[in-house]
Structure formats: C-alpha cells, structure tokens
Structure 1
C-alpha cells in the first residue's frame, strides 16, 4: 500500500466525501457530527467506515495511476469511477468496472481514430492504414516472416474456401443466366480446380516511389501505366507488350516522374490521391491533397493546374467526351472543369459533408456522394440537383453508374449497397449481406452498352468483412460470396471480357477469380498491402499498387 502522510490522508477523505455530496466541518476523523447524511440512504456514515473508504480511495488512485501510465499517449484526462462507486462497491467490483470501462474507452478511441482516417474515400481512408502497415514493417516483419506468410497464404488459397454456402443464394434455373450459363451457380466444396501462384518471373516490380502507392490506372489505348503516391508524385510507366519475363530482359521500364511540388518539402500536402486517363489515353489528370487538379501529357509535361478547391481532392473523373473533368473534395463541393479553357465551369455546393466520390452519368450530368449520407445527381447549367437519393445511414463511399447510365450503384459504411434508378426516389434494390463497411463497388463490363452484350450485368462489392460479393442486379439477389482474403478488401476490377475479377487487400494478396467457376484461379502475394488493382485493355496484364512503395505488373493468361 502506498504510504501517505496524515495531511494527505485527510485531503483524500475530504475529496471523496465532498465529491459524494457530503459536507465536512473539519478535517478531523471520528467526528460523526461533522458529517451530513448519506445521499444514498439518508443514514449517517459511522467513523469506522472512513477506514474502508480510505483503503478504497488509495486502491482507486493506484489503479488510475497504473492506467494513466499505460495510456500515456492519450491526451485528455479521464476517470473510470465516480465517488458513489467507491462507497457502494467493493474493491473487486471497482477493478472490474475499471477494466470494462477502459476497454470501452479504448474501443471508442480506436473507432474515432479510424473514422478520422477514413473520412476521405480516395485518400484518408487509406492513409491511416498505410501508416499502420509501415509501422508493423518497421517493428520487425523480417524476410523469413514474409516467406512464411506467403506459404500460409498459398496453402490457404489452395484449400476450397471460395464460397460460403450460407451466403450462396440459389435462384431458379430459368432466371439465373448471369454469366451466359443456364445452371444456377452452385459450387462444390470438393472441386479439383486448384489456384496457381503467379511466379515472380511473371511479375515486373516497378520501383521508384518513396512512399505508399495508393492509385494506379492503365491507359485505355496503350501500354502506359500511371501510379500515384504519397511521395507527391505520379509516374507514367511504359510497359512493353508480351510476357513480363521477356520485358525484364530489356532492362527496367521507362518512367516519367510527375512532380506535384517544386523543390523539397517536409509537408504531406501534395500527396497524389487519385488519377484518371481521358478516353483517348492522351492526357492524365491527377488530384492531390493540396486541393489542386493537374493535367499531364504522356510526355510528362504539366499542361494545366486547376485551382479552386479549398481542401483535398478525393475523386476525379474525365467525362467520355474528354472536354470536362469532375472533381470532388472535402470542402463539400464538386467542380466541373473546362479542359480546353483550363478553368472551372461550375461549382456544385449541395452537400453538407465531404464529397467522397463522383461519377459521370453522361457527358453533362453526374452523381456525387458524401459523408452526409446523400447522393445528388447534378447537371451542368442547373443550379439545383436534378435528383437526390436518400436512404443510406452512413457515409457513402463509392458510386458507379452502369454502362448505360440508367442505374446507379452505391455503397456505404452502413454495410449496404443499393441500386437506384432516375425514375424513382427510393432505391430499387438493397443488398445487406455484408457484415462490415463496403469500401468500393464495380459494374461488370457486360450487358447492353458494352463489348459483351450477351452476358448479363453484374455488380461486385468489396468490404471490410474480407469478402467480395457478386450481385444479380435484375433479380436483386446474391450470386457469389468470394471468401479468400484474410483482411479488408480495398479494390476489385473486372477483366475486359467480364470472365474474371481481381481483388486486392492489405493481407498482401491479390486473388483472381473465375466468374464462371466461382473459384480462385490465380494468386499473387506481394511485399505490402494492396490498395488498388486494374487490368490493361487487352486483359493479359494486371497492375497492383502496394503500401511498400512499389507497383507490380503481373502476366495473366489462362
């Protein structure tokens, strides 16, 4: 027991009696007349009870001191117990209360911290996780641990773990033709189809970034690959045609460095958060944490700097025609930029929270989503939204129009994905099978308006519950639950023919699934968490960007 002086003991007792609602005429012990009635039961507190109270008080202070030492990195003051607890509960009950309340406090702090990092769809949601991943690597994840991790992942992938039978929705024979077949997508748990680990010889590792790479995109017309990083640069890599093994013989790929800051700086205000190619593949647009959008040529020249946002840009998209760029920012606005005039055409200020995502419906209208849970459909020249969709209960992370522009898909931290139509205010379908936040969604390149019109349209959703789910949009039903990752899934991408889907996760693995078979057909385990994956236009290469500052290009041939 901690030793105290008589004065400290008097002060201790006085403090706890005073906070419990008692009034003292003097600091002396044993003077029953000096103590008012207890507010609990109206009875006088006998002098002998003071010793118990003192003991509890000292133990309480000791517990609180220990907890303070454990949580020395927490700034604000805290108290786990109230004075009435000390009078009415014994020490064991007090300890239990302290432990329980400490767990709740820490959980809330973690949640608040994660929420702070997750505020921005294109950057803040990833930035905090990048830092945690780098911290883990700094704390001692050595090469042998990585090798063991790879082997564990490969062994796990080779097991039949693709379909969660409880989540599989069986639909009628005549109704289910999602991938051109006539049979329901029923999957056997004893399939002989085994996944194949992509060998390192079939992978080009692109090095040069000095911070995590959070965005990548293939040019729609050529062999150029763009990447955006927290090192305040974007890069354009020239990837030779043919197999990666042959390309490696010719030396490292050519690269252009697109610097978003002049000179040296210690501030992280120019991190590249998002990027997008125009439809002709002649210009690359980048969005930055400094609130500016920039347009670059394929020669790496800065063509335009677009400045009006007052906060980081989270999302950026070219329209199909290529005359406008749309940006969304944490300043709660979306801006349409006239590319030829190199200036803003219209600013849309309808959200009351950060604008997390934007997507064009056609060349003149688009949708925006926000932390305010709302989705607005806007049109150039209109001063008010032409449609507002309300139904999500938390921030809307991602929105995507289907290939025809008639259906809008959305996903949210409320663990649901929804399908909306311009013909009505209420959603057409609500998908609730995910058990955690849904980070992103993608439409398949199939159905009307695509190069694969004979295959039905499918929606993919990637969630923090470690699964990718595929949905029959026409029926509003779950087709597949793809269960192979061991951590959150950040990215999904369909192959150009709509037959495969790639997914990437902080578990360092990229999984490639056959939609016809509903199974993993290829896997790759890198040296860091994966934040985005994308296919080239031919469908024979997949790029993935990593938290360990690299971009990988993988051969894909079945």
Structure 2
C-alpha cells in the first residue's frame, strides 16, 4: 500500500481516530478513506438520536470528549446543592458513550447500552446502595453485540427494554438486530428482520409481544413465544424514531416524516393518523391511562392528542428550539399516586424544561438551571421529583412542587444522554458520553444538605 496518505484522502489529525492499527497496515488509501467515511456517517446518525447537536463533539477511543466547555455552575444553583462524592458510585466498563439505561421493574438489576458494542447488566445491591457498593462492587454481565459476520465490526447498542417480569432484556442495535437476553446475561434469541437501525423497542405488559421501530421505516410486532414476526407495519415514509404501546395490542409510532400513527395488531391500516407537526417528531408517550398521547418535535411544539376526539387536544407553545423528549408524571387517575395532579414535562434545545397542566393545557412553570440542550428527563416514581441530564454536563434533581433545584451533579465530565430513577425513589442513574454510568443516592444526598434555592419562573 502507499505509505504517504495525502490530506485529500484522509485527514490524519481529524480522521486517524476512526482507524484501527490493523487497517492502516493492511489496507490501501481508498479502503481507508471508505472506512473513515462509513464511521463518520455512523457517528452522525447515532449523534442525531443521542444528542442532536453533537457535530462539534469529538470522542476519542477511550470515550473522552473534547474540547470541553469552560466549567459552569448555573447562577440559580447554590454550591450547597452539589451532591457529595460519598453519595455517588461510578460504574466503569463501557469505553464509548452510554446511549441508554434501564432498571429492571422487579429487582435491583440495571442495564446500560453503549456505542462500544456492548450492553451490561449490573447487579445493584439492595439496602443502603451507595455505601455498600463502595465496599462490595456490583457483579456485571457483559452482553456483546459485535457483528461477527463482518470482521468483528462495531455495532452500537441503541435501545434497551426489560419485560414486565424482569426476566428478559431486549436490546436494539445500530445494525438493525434486536437481541433477547436472560437476566443472567445469556443470549436467548436474535431477531433479524429489520434492515435499518433500531432506536426504540418495548414489551407489552402481558409480555407476549415485543414492538420494535427501525430506520427501515417499519415497526414490527414479534411473538415472544416463537420469536417470529407477527406483523410488520410499513406506513411511514421515513425512519421511525419512537414506538410506544398503548395497551397489549395497540401502539403508536412517530417518524422523521412528521407523522404519528396509532396502530393495532391485526389491522392492515392505522387506526389514527396525526399530521400537524411541522418538523421531525422526536418522542411520543401515552399518559398513564392510555387516553392521551403526547408528542414533541423539532418544530419546538409539544402536542397532546385525544383518541376520544381523534384530534389534537392541546398545542403547547413555549419552547423556542427543538423539543427532544417528553415525560408524563406517574400521577393522576389510574396510577399509584391518584390524588396528585397529572403533569407533562418537556425538555428542549433551548436549555429549559417546562411543566404543563395536561388537562387544561397551561404552562405550570419553566425550570431554568441548565445552560445547554436538555437531552433526558425522568420523574421519580412518587411524582415528587424530576431528574434532568444535559449537554452542559450537569444533572439536576428538581422539586416538581415548586421548581427548585434540590441537588445537582457536575463531576461526570461529559454530556449526559440518559437519566432515570429506580423504583424505590432513592437512586438516580445517569449515562454519560465518556462511557461511565453514575449512581446517585438521592435520599442520602437530600438528608445531608437540604437546599431550597429557586430554579423556576
């Protein structure tokens, strides 16, 4: 091969990171250029769904991002709100960004999925979690997703979901395969019908169907008894971004084509089609009763749809940039918190989180404290708190009641792509762009240094 690569072929400073030593030794310039282009395209596609403004972020082989912005503490956050190191435990093992995390619904297992071609199942101990983990680190099962048919090619894990019993974990991958794993890390099945990346999947509550949404523009319902495709839905004209079960047989899908479809198993056509968004739809979610469907889009709007009326019930305007994610509070009729108000939270590229009265369509409050795009939000199971993760490398825990920032964590050193709570309301997990997974003992942190600094308007 040619020893000297010109800048027109491969930019050594900017592109060398995409190449493995064996590639440089064994391949010619044309092949190296193709490898670089393919990996750049893959990174671009992953970045679009795990942080839309990632074009200026560089990640090296160890998963370290750079250049980092200057250190920043939001002006509305008191230093006393910072989580103590004693209330934090870092799970290390992933070598690239953590795209998703998922707690088992029935036990103390935590799954994490990464662009390093692995998912991991961490056995988190019961009781005073953080303090016990410092002396007894958790066991971990590593779930390899390398594409062995293509010379061990990397295959990012892009989605995770546990079944209702917590016995099986489904993972979606960049290469378009869904894999089924036992909670002990044993591979059960690989589902191969999709021809595009899977960025969303979900089990129904009964556990007999698995729903996957793909960049091949289709959604598939899989029979979990035989692992056969029960029905493939090909209504969208662009890649699917999110799928969400309404009940055991009906579900909704959203896409880059700006459409939302409500579908039902056995039906050859959508039950409903909603088309009022003017930009790519980034997320959809049913309210706890399954009667209202919320959506958010690059057009900066949040919408609440009524299936009873077959139309948009509320058009929520307030954000001035793309809205990346939405979450319903686990409150109101039909939930374990029936006497609390039902709230819809939305997070945006404008660095704010907004809380909405879902029934009246009114803005309750805006949560200010982040300085860059907010990528992930999660309500605590009791509905009292909201965790948020941002491009600004900060995790905040807010009071839903008054919008104050109760606790903040900023020592992860990278963009936060995912936050979620365990079922006991006391542990918050965060997945970072540098490959670490951080556990925060919220109950202990609040007891140490209670804080009432404001973070709303």
Q: Which runs of 5+ in 2 are unaligned?
A: 1-6, 12-39, 447-457
TM-score (norm 2): 0.83
Aligned counterpart in structure 1 of residue 272 of structure 2, from 363, 379, 387? 387
CA distance in 1, matches of 2:423, 2:398: 18
Q: In the TM superposition, what is the alpha-carbon distance from 1:309 to its structure 2 partner?
A: 0.4
Residue aligned with 1:404, SS: coil
Aligned counterpart in structure 2 of residue 158 of structure 1, from 77, 86, 93? 77
Residue aligned with 2:54, SS: helix
Aligned counterpart in structure 1 of residue 361 of structure 2, from 473, 476, 480? 476
Residues 440 and 140 (structure 1), Cα distance of their counterparts in 2 relative to 1, 3 Å cut: closer
Deviations 1:202-260 (A, max 9, x none): 11100011111110011111110000000111000011123344223433211000011
Asked if residue 132 in structure 1 is aligned to residue 57 in structure 2, the reply is: yes
Aligned counterpart in structure 1 of residue 256 of structure 2, from 368, 371, 379? 371
CA distance in 2, matches of 1:266, 1:482: 47
Q: Which runs of 5+ in 1 are unaligned?
A: 1-68, 74-113, 160-193
Residues 131 and 313 (structure 1), Cα distance of their counterparts in 2 relative to 1, 3 Å cut: farther
Aligned counterpart in structure 2 of residue 539 of structure 1, from 425, 433, 441? 425
Cross-structure match for 2:27: none
CA distance in 2, matches of 1:117, 1:448: 42
Cross-structure match for 1:207: 92
Cross-structure match for 1:455: 340
Residues 354 and 485 (structure 1), Cα distance of their counterparts in 2 relative to 1, 3 Å cut: same
Deviations 1:485-523 (A, max 9, x none): 011100000001000000001211100000112110000
Is the CA contact (8 Å cut-off) linking 2:65 and 2:433 kept in structure 1?
Answer: no
Is the CA contact (8 Å cut-off) linking 1:195 and 1:520 kept in structure 2?
Answer: no
More helix by share: 1
Asked if residue 349 in structure 1 is aligned to residue 234 in structure 2, the reply is: yes
Residue aligned with 1:158, SS: coil
Is the CA contact (8 Å cut-off) linking 2:57 and 2:65 kept in structure 1?
Answer: no
Aligned counterpart in structure 2 of residue 506 of structure 1, from 378, 391, 403? 391
Q: In the TM superposition, what is the alpha-carbon distance from 1:130 to its structure 2 partner?
A: 8.2
Deviations 1:286-337 (A, max 9, x none): 0001101111011100111111001000110111111111010110000001
| Counterpart mapping for 1:140-539 below 5 A | 141=68, 149=71, 152-153=72-73, 156-158=75-77, 196-261=81-146, 269-525=154-410, 526-539=412-425
Deviations 1:256-278 (A, max 9, x none): 00011266977765110000111
Q: In the TM superposition, what is the alpha-carbon distance from 1:156 to its structure 2 partner?
A: 2.7
Residue aligned with 1:392, SS: coil
Cross-structure match for 1:555: 441
CA distance in 2, matches of 1:140, 1:342: 45
CA distance in 1, matches of 2:262, 2:390: 31
Q: Radius of gyration: which is bigger? A: 1
Q: In the TM superposition, what is the alpha-carbon distance from 1:126 to its structure 2 partner?
A: 3.4
Is the CA contact (8 Å cut-off) linking 1:202 and 1:243 kept in structure 2?
Answer: no
Is the CA contact (8 Å cut-off) linking 1:198 and 1:522 kept in structure 2?
Answer: yes
Residue aligned with 1:126, SS: coil
Which piece of structure 1 moves more, 524-533 or 242-251?
A: 242-251
Residues 541 and 125 (structure 1), Cα distance of their counterparts in 2 relative to 1, 3 Å cut: closer
Is the CA contact (8 Å cut-off) linking 2:64 and 2:434 kept in structure 1?
Answer: no
Is the CA contact (8 Å cut-off) linking 1:244 and 1:554 kept in structure 2?
Answer: no
CA distance in 1, matches of 2:81, 2:334: 33
Which piece of structure 1 moves more, 234-243 or 124-133?
A: 124-133
Question: What is the RMSD of the two structures over their aligned residues, measured on CA atoms?
Answer: 2.6
TM-score (norm 1): 0.69
CA distance in 2, matches of 1:251, 1:276: 27
Deviations 1:140-197 (A, max 9, x none): 65xxx8xx72xx41x63425xxxxxxxxxxxxxxxxxxxxxxxxxxxxxxxxxx8611
Length, aligned pairs only: 405
CA distance in 2, matches of 1:374, 1:119: 20
CA distance in 2, matches of 1:541, 1:408: 28
| Counterpart mapping for 1:37-186 below 5 A | 124-126=49-51, 129=54, 132-134=57-59, 141=68, 149=71, 152-153=72-73, 156-158=75-77
CA distance in 2, matches of 1:351, 1:304: 27
